[in-house]
A and B are shown apart, each in its own frame.
Chain A
C-alpha cells in the first residue's frame, strides 16, 4: 500500500519529478561515460603494455634484477622453459637475452637495453612486431646477420633510418667490451615512448656469435591464455622454481599497476562526488514536497497512519525518484559506452602527450561489470541518505497543526 501510494506520489508533479530524474540520469550518464574513458585508456595501456612490452609473467635469476648484469642468466633456461610451457593456462613461453649497452650512430649515442630474441618464438609472446608500420621495415626479415629493430623515438634520437647502421657496445659474459654494427631492419612505434627509446631488439644468435659463446637466457617471458589466471600460475611457478624470481606484470611495471589501482579509486571518487551533488538537489525537492503536502501528511497521521509508515512513504518516494534516474542513467551510459567502444574516440590531436604516458591516441571507452553493481549500491545509499532529512521533517509535523495548513 505504502509502495503504491509512494509510486503514485512521484508522478503527482510530473514536471518536477522529471527534472529530478533527468538530473540524476544526466549526472550519472556523464559520470559513467567519463569513467569509461578513463577505464578504457588504462585498460588499453595495460593490454598494449602486456602484449608489446612485459607479457603476463617474467622469470629471472634473482641476481640479475639487482644490477641487470648479463652474467646472471637463468641456469638450464631451455629445460625450465620447456617445463613452463606444459603448465596449465600457459599459452606461450620464450627466452630472451638481456644486456645493458650503448647504441651509437654517427650523430648521437644512447643507453639501451639490448634484447636478444628468437624472432619466431618472440612473436608468440609479444605483439611488438605488429607496431612496425609497413613503411618502416619489418621484424627480422631475411637471413642477413646483425639486423636490429629499434623504436621510433630512438631512431629520431640517433637520427637513423631504415638500413642505417647502429653500433652496439656492451660487456660480454666475460666482462670484456664488445661492439658491432647492426643494420636497422625495422622501426616499431608503441604508445610508450619511453619503451621505444630504451629497447633495441636483435637476434640472440647474432649476439652469441659476437661474444663467441652463449650469452645465456636472462629472461623467460610467459603469456597465459587469460590474464585472470596470473595469480594461480604465479603461485605454481614460485612453488616449482623457488630459486628463481617470478614477477607478474604489475611487479615488473609498478607504474602500470599503480595506475590501475589509482584509477579504480578515482572512478569511485568521481561518481561519489556526482552522487553527492545530486543528493542535494533531491533533498531540496523532497523538502519542497513535504512542505507542499503538510496538510495531507497531517491528515494521514490524524486518521491513524503511523509515523513509521509516513517515514517509509517519504523514503520510498525519494528512492523511486533516485533509482528511476539511476536506472535510466545506467542504461543511457551503457548505450553511450557501447557505441564509442565500437567506434573509439580519436584524441590524436593530443597523442604526443598521451604517448609519453603510454596511452594510445584512440580511446575505446569501457566499463567493468562490477562497477555497475557497486554503482547500484551507491545510488541506493544516495537515495536513502537524501531521503532521511525530508522524512524526518515529515515526522516532526503535528497532525493538529498540519491539517489546518492552507
Chain B
C-alpha cells in the first residue's frame, strides 16, 4: 500500500530570473515498510526532495499525497500539525534540545501531541530501549557521543508514531562504528516494526543496506532500483 504518492513534482528556484530546476517533473510512490535511499551528487535535488516530502518547503508544481492528503494544499499551521502527527525527522546534525535529557527529548514530541504522562513514560522507555540507550535516560545530549545522540534522534522521530521517517544524511557526522550501529538499529526497526525509512545520503553503507535506491540527477530520477 502506497503511503506517499508524488505526481509531477517540480521545484524551481529563482523562477523569475534564471530558473534553476531543483526537481523537475518527479513521479514517485513509496509504500509502507520501505527502507529507501535517495542518492545522487550534490545539487541533484535530494535535500529538496526530502524537504518537500517533509512539508518543510512548498513545491512550484505537482502534488504530494500522503495518506490521501495533498500536503501541498495545506496552510502553514495545518502543515505543522501534519508533520507532528505523520512525519518523523532525523537530521544530519542530530538537533536535540541541549537542555533536555534523552528521555525529555523523546518525550517532548509526545507532549506536543498531548499524550498523557503514563503513556509517554512507557513509550519513551520502550523507544530508548529499542535504540539501546535505556541506561542513558537521564543524560543530556552533551554527555552523549554523536552516535548516541543520533540514536536519541531516531527514538524522538519514532515517538510520534509517524507514517514514515525522513532521515537527511543521518550518518554524515558519525564515525564508521557508530554509523554501522545506527543503521543496524534502523534496519531492525524497519524489519520488526515495519517503520518506513526514507534517507537522503551519500554514504555507501546506507545505500548498501537500503532495499530500494532512487538516484537523482539534475532534479530528475535517473534510477529507481529495488533489491530483494
Do B81 and A307 have beta carbons less than 8 Å apart? no
Whether B77 is near chain A, meaning CB under 8 Å from some CB there, is yes
Whether B208 is near chain A, meaning CB under 8 Å from some CB there, is no
Q: Which secondary structure characterizes the binding site on chain A?
A: helix
Please, which residues of chain B bring their CB within 8 A of the CB of A12? 98-99
Do A403 and B95 have beta carbons less than 8 Å apart? yes
Within 8 A of A (CB), among B94-130: 95, 97-100, 108-109, 111-113
User: How would residues 349 to 383 of chain A score, 1 for a CB under 8 Å from any chain B CB and 0 otherwise?
Assistant: 00000000000000000000000000000000000
Alpha-carbon separation in the docked complex, A299 to B77 (Å): 16
Minimum CB–CB distance from B141 to chain A (whole Å) comes to 11
A399 and B56 in contact, given A304-B109, A306-B80 (Cβ under 8 angstroms): yes
Most-contacted residue by chain B among A296, A303, A403 (CB, 10 A): A303
* Chain B residue with Cβ nearest A301: B80
* A1, A9, A296, A307: the one within 8 Å of B108 (CB): A1
Please, which residues of chain A bring their CB within 8 A of the CB of B109? 303-304
A305 and B95 in contact, given A5-B100, A8-B100 (Cβ under 8 angstroms): no
Alpha-carbon separation in the docked complex, A81 to B89 (Å): 87
Whether A98 is near chain B, meaning CB under 8 Å from some CB there, is no
**B interface residues, how many (CB within 8 angstroms):** 26
Alpha-carbon separation in the docked complex, A12 to B80 (Å): 27
A309 and B112 in contact, given A301-B80, A302-B56, A400-B51 (Cβ under 8 angstroms): yes
Q: Which residues of B contact A (CB under 8 A)?
A: 51, 54, 56-57, 76-77, 80-81, 83-85, 89, 91, 93, 95, 97-100, 108-109, 111-113, 156, 160
Query: 24 A-B Cβ contacts within 8 A?
Result: A1-B108, A1-B112, A5-B97, A8-B100, A9-B99, A12-B98, A295-B93, A295-B95, A296-B98, A299-B89, A301-B80, A302-B56, A302-B83, A303-B84, A304-B81, A304-B83, A304-B85, A304-B112, A304-B113, A304-B160, A305-B112, A306-B112, A309-B112, A403-B91
Q: Which residues of A contact B (CB under 8 A)?
A: 1, 5, 8-9, 11-12, 295-296, 299-307, 309, 399-400, 403
| Complex A-B, nearest 9 residue pairs according to Cβ-Cβ distance, in ascending order | A304-B84, A8-B99, A299-B95, A400-B56, A1-B111, A400-B57, A304-B83, A400-B51, A399-B56
